[in-house]
Amino acid sequence: MIPKYIVFNTNMPDKNGNALPVGQGNNLDELLSVYHGKAYQIMKAKSLSNREEW
């Protein structure tokens, strides 16, 4: 099952310069209490069937 939210740390880029995922979960309030500050970005995950065409 895909989590509702994925947390990325923008201060920890991989070798391609992309932010690394550091957490995931379904409870946004819980994620915000653990991962707060400018270094973290919380993104809502979508299934492939719910994405817009690129």
Among 20, 53, 36, 49, residue whose Cα is nearest residue 6: 20
Block residue for tokens 């550091």 = 22
Spell out where 1-54 has E strands.
5-13, 19-25, 40-44
DSSP one-letter code for 15:
T
Q: What is the per-residue pLDDT across 14-47, written as a single tens digit (0 to 9) for each? A: 889 999 999 999 999 999 999 999 999 999 987 7
pLDDT at 13: 87
**Look-up: residue for tokens 């995922």?**
21
**Every domain of the chain and the residues it spans:** 5-46
Output the pLDDT for position 9: 94
Q: How far apart are CA 50 and CA 38, in angstroms?
A: 28
**pTM exceeds cut of 0.75:** yes
Q: pLDDT-derived band of residue 6, with 50, 70 and 90 as boundaries?
A: very high
